[in-house]
Structure 1
Amino acid sequence: MGKKAEAPGQISARLLDEVEQLRTSLESALEENGRLMEDRDRLSRRVTQLSQDLQAARSAPPPAPPPLPPAQQGQAEEELRVAFEELQVLTEELEVANSSLQQANHELDGRVEERTRQIQEINDTLRATEDSLRTIADLVPDLLWRSDATGHANWFNQRWCDYTGWDEEELKEEGWANALHPLDRASSLAAWAQAMAAGTVYQEQHRIRDAQGDYRWFLIRAEPMRDANGTILAWFAAATDMHEQRTAMEALQRSELRFRTLIEGMPQLVWRAVDSGQWTWSSPQWSAFTGQSEKASRSLGWLEMLHPDDRDHAMAAWTRAQQTGSLEIEGRIFNAQDRRYRHFRTRGVPVRSSESSLLEWLGTSTDVDDIVQLQAHQEVLVGELQHRTRNLMAVVQSVTARTLKGSHSLDHFAQCIRDRLDALARVQGLLSRRKGGLRVTFDALLREELSAHVPLDADGRGEHVTLTGPAGISLKSATVQTLALALHELATNAVKYGALSQPAGRLEVRWDIRRPAPGECRLFVDWRERGVSELPAPGAEPKGGGYGRELIERALPYQLNAQTSYAVETDGVHCTIDVRVPSEDSEGGGR
Structure 2
Amino acid sequence: MAERIRAHDWTATALGAADAWPPSLRATISLILGCGFPMIALWGRDLIQVYNDDFRDLMGSKHPAGLGQPARACWPEIWHITAPIYERVWNGETFTFEDALYPLFRSGRLEDAWFTLTYSPLRDEAERIAGILVTLVESTARVLSDRALRESEARFRAELERQVQERTAELQASRDLLKATMDSSMDMIQVLKAVRDPAGEIVDFRWLLNNSTSASRYGDVGGQSLLERNPGVIQEGIFDTFKRVTETGQPATAERRYAHEQFDGWFFQCAVKLGDGVAITTKEISAWKAAQNEMLRLRDESANAALRESEERFRTLASLIPVLLWRSDESGQHNSLNEAWLTYTGQSLQQSQAGGWLEAIHPADRDAVSEAFRSGREQQRLIEVQQRIRRYDGQYRWFLVRQAPLLDTEGQVTQWIGAAMDIHDLHDLQERQTILVAELQHRTRNLLGVVRSIAHQTMAQTGPTERFREQFNDRLAALSRVQGLLSRSEQEPITLRTLIRTELDALGGGDFANRIHIAGPPVRLRKASVQTLALAVHELATNARKYGALTTEHGRLSVTWRADRDDQGGGNLLIEWIEEGISRPREEQSPTRRGYGRELIEQAMPYALNAKTHYELGETRLRCAIELPLGERFGQMSTA
Report the TM range for the smaller structure's normalisation: 0.3 to 0.5
The alignment's TM-score, normalised by the length of structure 1, stands at 0.33
Between Structure 1 and Structure 2, which shows a larger proportion of helix residues? 1
The alignment's TM-score, normalised by the length of structure 2, stands at 0.31
